[in-house]
Amino acid sequence: MSHYAVFGHPVSHSLSPRIHAEFGRQTGIALDYTAIEATPAGFAQALDAFAAAGGKGANVTLPLKEAAFALCSVTSERARRAGAVNTLTRNDGQWHGDNTDGIGLVRDLTARLGLDLRGRRTLLLGAGGSARGVAPALLDAGVSELVIANRTPERADALVDLLGEPGRAHSRYWNDLVNEGDFALIVNATSASRDGLQEFSLPFALAASRTLAVDLNYGEAAIPFLAWAQAAGCRDRVDGLGMLVEQAAAAFELWHGVRPDTAGVYATLRGKDASLVTAD
């Protein structure tokens, strides 16, 4: 039986073991998938121990995605464009890193929900590991402009520089967003709700009825941003559960060479667990 895991801090909430167990049942692939708690300071040691015990691959959640990138000997183009890794594969005694967050988000929005992202002026809130994972994919999906805002502006500047598309990707100070007009797509990649903030404060002028509001969190952690979006008049509001399932499917395919069905897994998680609180 092959051994896989998800690393994070905290990680007890993670749905990845349940999702990958179901994917294994679907495809007839025997695997063992566990959640491993690792702080940023202890991540490298924990990953070494996992590899020594026969670990074949791993997912990486907050706050370790940028640290995972630094520990890889080989990285995919997607990971290099993001500067962050959420999927690790053990090959020839080395870790190979990829990032499936962005393709997971785009697939959820376009394939499952039938939405068209092309030509949308887009605001991305946050510049950490999750934002880094989805930013390149949003550009590839055809958004007309990507404005990145972070409470630490240097992080937003660094992400824009990494993307290398000065004509389409720009950074803005958080407090200056009031002057930006409205957006057709707003993506929340911040951890404000997970950090205990119960209200999400942004100018309502950023949104209109046609604005698609997306939170990379789901369940209770998505409530503050999606409540703001509803109050701002956004008709379409989406949380991150679908993205979570889709990025997991992309990782599963990298490891096993077969893509599992995501619709049934998504429906089960959505229907049975109203208490789910955070996204990987």
pLDDT class for 192, splitting at 50, 70, 90? low
Token pair belonging to 180: 């930006």
Examine the pLDDT at 169 and tell me if it is beyond 70. yes
Superfamily for the 2-99+242-272 domain: Leucine Dehydrogenase, chain A, domain 1 (3.40.50.10860)
pLDDT for residue 12:
87
**What residues have CB less than 8 Å from 220, skipping those under 6 apart?**
193, 275, 276, 277
102 is in an annotated binding site: no
CATH 3.40.50.10860, the chain: domain bounds: 2-99+242-272
**Structure confidence at residue 199 (pLDDT):** 66
Summarize the confidence of residues 197-205 as an average pLDDT. 80
Are 155 and 166 in contact, with CB atoms under 8 Å apart? no
- Is 272 annotated in the active site? no
Given the residues 20, 65, 107, 237, the one annotated as active site: 65
173 is in an annotated binding site: no
Task: Considering the chain, tell me which residue range(s) the CATH 3.40.50.720 domain(s) occupy.
Answer: 102-239
pLDDT bin (cut points 50, 70, 90) of residue 6 is very high
Backbone angles phi, psi at 260, to 5 degrees: -80, 165
Q: Among all chains, which residue has been given the structure tokens 């824009």?
A: 160
Superfamily of domain 102-239: NAD(P)-binding Rossmann-like Domain (3.40.50.720)
- Does position 279 have pLDDT exceeding 70, yes or no? no
Output the CA–CA distances (angstroms, integers) from residue 50 to 7, 30, 88, 108, 270, in the order listed.
Answer: 10, 18, 12, 31, 31
Contact criterion met (CB below 8 Å) for 191 and 62: yes
Rounded-to-integer distance, Cα 243 and Cα 240, Å = 5
Q: What is the pLDDT of residues 244-277, one digit of tens each?
A: 999 999 999 999 999 999 999 999 999 865 444 3
Res. 278 pLDDT band, cuts 50 70 90: very low
Task: Determine whether the annotation assigns residue 104 to a binding site.
Answer: no
Confidence label for 218 from pLDDT (cuts 50, 70 and 90): confident
The answer to whether 150 is annotated as binding is yes
Is 129 assigned a ligand-binding role in the annotation?
Answer: yes
Per-residue pLDDT reduced to its tens digit, 18-60:
999 999 999 999 999 999 999 999 999 999 999 999 999 999 9
